[in-house]
Amino acid sequence: MTIPELIDVHAAWLPPEAFRAIGSRRVLVHADGPLAETVRDEVVHACGLYGGSVPHPVSDQVGDQQVDLVLALSSMAALPAVAEEVRGEALREFGPDACGAEGFVLACRDGVTVVLADEPAGLLYGLFQVVRLGESAFGSARPVERHRPATRRRMIDHWDNIDVHPVMGQVERGYAGGSIFWQNGALRGDLTRVRAYGRLLAACGVNAVAVNNVNVHAAEARLLTDRLGDVVAIADALRPYGIRVHLSVNFASPIALGGLPTADPLDESVREWWARTTERVYATIPDFGGYLVKADSEGQPGPFAYGRSHADGANMLADAAAPFGGVVHWRAFVYNHRQDWRDRSTDRARAAFDHFAPLDGRFRDNAILQVKHGPMDFQVREPLSPVIAALPATRLAVEFQVTQEYTGQQRHVCYLAPMWSETLGFRPWGDGGRTVADVVADGPAAGGAGDLVAVSNVGDDPFWTGHPLAQANLYAFGRLAWAPRTDPVAILDEWIDLTFVPSATGDPERLRRTLHEMMDESWTTYERYTAPLGVGFMVRPGHHYGPDVDGYEYTPWGTYHFADRDGVGVDRTRASGTGFTGQYPPPWSDVYESLTECPDELLLFFHHVPYGHVLHDGSTVVQHIYDTHFEGAERVAETRLRWEKLAGDGLVAPELHARVKERLDEQLRSAEEWRDQVNAYFFRKSGVPDAHGRRIH
Ligand code: GCV
C-alpha cells in the first residue's frame, strides 16, 4: 500500500514532517495482519523520507537487532530484550488483557522506545502516539504507560448525499464544499483522498464512519442494495486504517426498494426483507459496521406509521444485523416539527425523553440509542439531554456536531472541544455521581461500552474543513472520544504541534501562543455575541447562519424565546412551565427549577424572567446582553488582529494564512451584525438603555 499523501490538499495534522522523529530512526515492526501492514508501510515511508531504516524481523535474530523503536504484537514469540522486559512489566502491572482490541503500552528504556499491542489496531494507534510525541518519544526513559480507548466506537457521521439536494446541497449542513465520496451523482473515481481521510481519522482515534446523510433520499437509499458497490469501495479505502463503515438507511426501504406494501417492523415479510438484505450486505462487506437510522423525525419515515414503538423499529434492524456482529444506531432526535407556536404546552426539549425513557430495557443489546448531547439541537449552549441519564438499561451513543451548523458554519473560529469536554465531565446525578463519559464508556449494566459520535465537518475543500482552524474540532473530537478526560487546551496543543510546528520556520512558541489566544475561548466568544443565556436559535431560518432574533418565533419548529416588553426566556419549570426540569434526576431537577440556583448561562433555557432580573454576577439580564454582545464582537476584532500579525513570518503557509484571514473578516462582520441586531432588539423591546451609554441602533 502506498501512503495516501495528497499534494494539492492540506496535510492537516499529518504533514510529512510530523514523521521526522520516527523516520530518522531504526524501527522494528514485528507483527502480522493487514493493519500491521499499514503500520509497516507508514514506517517504511517515513524512513524513506528521513533516512531511517526498517530491518526485517527475522525471528531468530529479533532479539539481537539494534533498533530505536519497536512496534510489536505482544503475542510475538521473539521480541528484542528490552521489549521482553516491557511485556513482562505490562503483564505484571495491567494483567493479561492489558491492551484489549485497540489499546497499546508504550515505554522507553535503555534508549529504545517500545510499543506493544495485543491486536494490530493497537499498534496503529501506538504508532500515531509516537508521531504525536515526536522527538520526546525517544531517548529519555519513560515508564510503561497504557493507552486504551474509553469508548468502543468513535464514530463520524457524514451527512453526505450522492446527489446535490435542491435545498441542502450535497452535504447537509456541510461548510467545506462537496462530498469527498461522491461527485456528479457517482462515486468518485479516485478514492485516494478517502484513504488520506481514513489516515487522519485513525491518527486521532476514530474507528467508524457512517457514509451518508441520516435524511436518506431516493438515490442514497439504494446504497443498501444496487448501489452497495459504492459502500464496498469506501470500506476498502478506509479499512487499512482500522475504520469500519456504517450506512444510514431509510426505514421505508422495504417499500421503496423491496416493493413490499408495508415497512411495519412486526410484519414477517418486512423482517424477512431486512434479514435477507442485511445478509447480502455482510456477504459483500464482512466487516460492515451497521445501520444508522433517523426515524419519525423531520419527515423521515418510522415505526409510528404502523402504531409501533421505536424499540420495535430498532430491534427489527438489530435482529437483522445481530448474526453478523452488526449494530444499529437509532437516533433519539424525535420531535414534532409541525408544532403550533400558539400551543404553549408542547415543548420540543421534552420530546426525546418522553418518547424514549419509557422504552428503557426494551432495546436489543446491539441497538444503540444515539442521543444529541443537548435536548434541542446543537445550540451554542444547552443543558445536557436528560435522555442520557434516563435509560440505564439501554446502550447509548452521545452525538456531537463537529460541523458548525449553529456555531459559525466554519466561517467563524469556534473551537468546540471545551463544550464537549464540559458535557463529558458533567455529572447528571450530581457531585460524586458518574459523569457522562462514564455513562458512555461503561454502558448499561447488562450491555457493554457505548459510543461517541459526531457529525462530520469535512468536504472536498483543499483545507478539508473550509476554515482551516476548524480542523482542530475534528481532531479534538477523536481525541476526546478516545480519552474523554483530556484537557481541550492540551488537545489543541497537540493539534498545533502536529499541524503547524513541524513545517514552521521562525518562533513556534509565538505561533502556539497566538493560536491559543485565538481558539481557547472562541466557543464562549461565539456565545457572547449570539443568542444569550442559553435561549438558543435566533438564527436565520433554513440556512441557520447570522442573526434573526424572531426568525423562528412564529414557526412550527418549537424553537422559541418568548421575548416581550417585560422579559424573555422559556419557562420549563414544573411549577409554572412545561415541566421539562422534571426530566432530570436530582439535584439538577431542583437546581434548574430554582430561579436562584439555575446557572446563569442556562437561565433563559429554563426560565422566563424580566429584563431587570439580577444574575449571580450582579448584572441584570438586559445589561448582560448588551455587555456580552459588545465584548464578543471586540474579542473577534482582537482575534483578527492577532492573526494578521502572523502574516509573512514563515509560521504558516501563505495560502492558509489568506484563507483564515478571509474567514476572520467575515466573522467580524457577522459578529458586529449579531451584536447590533440582538442589542437593538432587546433595547427596543425593553426600553432599558445601556448603562454605559454605548451606541445601540
Ligand atoms: C440531518 C437539524 C439540522 C438538520 C439535520 C437534523 C438531524 O435539524 O438542521 O439538517 O438533518 O438536525 O440531526 O437529523
Specify the pLDDT at position 357. 98
Q: pLDDT tens digits, residue range 84-142?
A: 999 999 999 999 888 999 999 999 999 999 999 999 999 999 999 999 999 999 989 99
Cβ neighbours of residue 696 under 8 Å, at least 6 residues apart? Answer: 626, 676, 679, 680, 683, 689, 690
Q: Whose CA is nearest to atom 3 of ligand 1?
A: 173
> How deeply is 189 buried, as exposed, middle or buried, from its count of CB atoms within 10 A (0-12, 13-18, 19+)?
exposed
3-state SS of 228-248 is HHHHHHHHHHHHHHCCEEEEE
Q: Is the CB of 385 under 6 A from ligand 1?
A: no
Q: How far apart are CA 152 and CA 131, in angstroms?
A: 23
Position in ligand 1 atom list of the atom nearest CA 297: 14
Most ligand 1 atoms within 8 A of CB, residue of 170, 298, 382 to mutate = 298
Check pLDDT > 60 for residue 448: no
Are 16-147 and 153-488 in the same CATH fold?
no
C-alpha of residue 181 to centroid of ligand 1, in Å = 20
Task: Answer whether 635 contacts ligand 1 (Cβ < 6 A).
Answer: no
Cα gap 245→232, rounded to integer Å = 9
- Check if 215 has its Cβ closer than 6 Å to any atom of ligand 1: yes
| Cell triple for 384 | 445536557
Q: What confidence tens digit (pLDDT) does each residue in 127-160 have?
A: 999 999 999 999 899 999 999 999 999 999 999 9
Q: Annotated catalytic, 442?
A: no
Q: pLDDT digits over 282-292, tens only? A: 999 999 999 99
Per-residue model confidence (pLDDT) at position 610: 98
pLDDT of 5: 87
Q: Is the CB of 159 under 6 A from ligand 1?
A: yes
Interval between CA 171 and ligand 1 midpoint (Å): 12
Q: Which three cell numbers stand for residue 36?
A: 500491521
| pLDDT mean over 293-301 | 97
Phi, psi of 126, rounded to the nearest 5 degrees: -65, -40
Q: Which CATH class is domain 526-570+608-686?
A: alpha beta
Regarding the beta carbon of 399 and ligand 1, being less than 6 Å apart is answered no
CATH superfamily of 153-488: Glycosidases (3.20.20.80)
Which atom of ligand 1 lies nearest, measured to the CA of 544?
9
Q: Is the peptide bond before 587 cis (omega within 30 degrees of 0)?
A: yes
pLDDT in tens, 577-635: 999 999 999 999 999 999 999 999 999 999 999 999 999 999 999 999 999 999 999 99
Q: Is 645 left (phi over 0), alpha (psi -120 to 50) or beta?
A: alpha
Closest CA to 519 of 420, 421, 414, 418: 414
pLDDT band of residue 58 (cuts 50, 70, 90) is low
Q: Give the ligand 1 atom nearest the CA of 405.
A: 9
Q: How far is the CA of 35 from the centre of ligand 1 (A)?
A: 35
**312 given a catalytic annotation:** no
pLDDT of residue 203: 98
Torsion of CA 589, 594, 599, 601, to 10 degrees: 100
Q: Which residues of 290-328 are buried (b: 16+ CB within 10 A; e: fewer)?
A: bbbbbbbbeebbbbeebebbbbbbbbbbbbbbbebebbb
What is the model's pLDDT at position 53? 96
Q: How confident is the model at residue 507 (pLDDT cuts 50, 70, 90)?
A: confident
For the Cβ of 373 lying below 6 angstroms from any atom of ligand 1, the answer is no
Q: Choosing from 160, 296, 377, 593, which is the catalytic residue?
A: 377
pLDDT of 449 above 80:
no
pLDDT score for 62: 62
How far is the C-alpha of 550 from the C-alpha of 544, rounded, in Å?
A: 13
Q: Could you tell me which CATH class the domain 16-147 is placed in?
A: alpha beta
Q: Of these residues, 32, 97, 298, 507, which one is catalytic?
A: 298
With a 6 Å cutoff on the Cβ, whether 381 touches ligand 1 is no
Q: From ligand 1's centre to the CA of 543, what distance in Å?
A: 11
**Average pLDDT, stretch 561-588?**
98
- The pLDDT tens digits of the residues spanning 327-365 come to 999 999 999 999 999 999 999 999 999 999 999 999 999
Would you state the pLDDT for residue 446? 43
Give the residue, by CA position, lying nearest to ligand 1 atom 9: 173
List the catalytic residue out of 68, 118, 157, 405.
Answer: 405
Confirm whether 405 is a catalytic residue.
Answer: yes
Protein residue with its CA nearest to atom 11 in ligand 1? 215
% pLDDT > 70, the chain: 98
| Cβ burial, residue 112 (10 Å; 0-12/13-18/19+) | buried
Q: How many CB atoms lie within 10 A of CB 58?
A: 10
Query: Does residue 59 carry a pLDDT above 90?
Result: no
> Is it the case that residue 648 has pLDDT exceeding 90?
no
Atom of ligand 1 nearest to the CA of 294: 14
What was the pLDDT predicted at 444? Answer: 61
Name every residue whose Cβ is closer than 8 Å to that of residue 695 and which is 6 or more positions away in sequence. none
How does residue 70 score in pLDDT terms, banded at 50, 70 and 90?
A: very high
Pocket-testing residue among 377, 378, 537, 559, ligand 1, by greatest number of atoms within 8 A of Cβ: 377
What is the domain partition of the chain in residue ranges?
Answer: 16-147, 153-488, 526-570+608-686
Of residues 46 and 62, more confidence is placed in 46
How confident is the model over 217-253, as pLDDT tens digits? 999 999 999 999 999 999 999 999 999 999 999 999 9
For ligand 1, atom 12, name the residue with the nearest CA.
Answer: 377
- Distance (Å, rounded) from C-alpha 279 to C-alpha 283? 6
What local confidence, expressed as pLDDT, does residue 60 receive? 58
Gap from CA of 640 to ligand 1 centroid (Å): 31
Please count the other Cβ atoms lying within 10 Å of the Cβ belonging to residue 147: 19
Residue position matching grid coordinates 465520496 = 181
Question: How does DSSP classify residue 53?
Answer: B
Distance 637 CA to ligand 1 centre (A): 31
Report the mean per-residue pLDDT for the chain.
96
Of 53-62, 72-81, 130-139, give the lowest mean pLDDT range.
Answer: 53-62
Q: How large is the C-alpha radius of gyration of the chain?
A: 26
Q: Rounded to the nearest whole angstrom, what is the distance from the C-alpha of residue 96 to the centroid of ligand 1?
A: 44
